[in-house]
Amino acid sequence: MSRAADSICLNIAEGSNKLSDIEFSKYLNTSETSLEEVVCCLDLALDDGYITNSEFEGNLREAGELGTQLIAFGKKVRKEGNRL
């Protein structure tokens, strides 16, 4: 879960240095995919008894908020087009 969570911000950082918004958008999409991996890990942690239902729900809510932000950021980047 830690690696997937790190991948979210690392892909944003790496993509922000790309020369085109289209390429940056791909890295943002990878960040969204990593967020889905985190959510899957949370589900597994709940099933295996590592976290409580309350912890799961709180983290799931935060993941949903982050997902909304990533999607909005990706839309903004794609709307602005290419940068050089």
In the chain, what are the domains? 2-80 (1.20.1440.60)
Cβ proximity of 74 and 29 under 8 Å: yes
What pLDDT, on the 0 to 100 scale, is given for residue 80? 73
What pLDDT, on the 0 to 100 scale, is given for residue 82? 59
Summarised one tens digit per residue, pLDDT across range 22-78 is: 899 999 999 999 999 999 999 999 999 999 999 999 999 999 999 999 999 999 988
- Distance between CA atoms of residues 9 and 13, nearest Å: 6
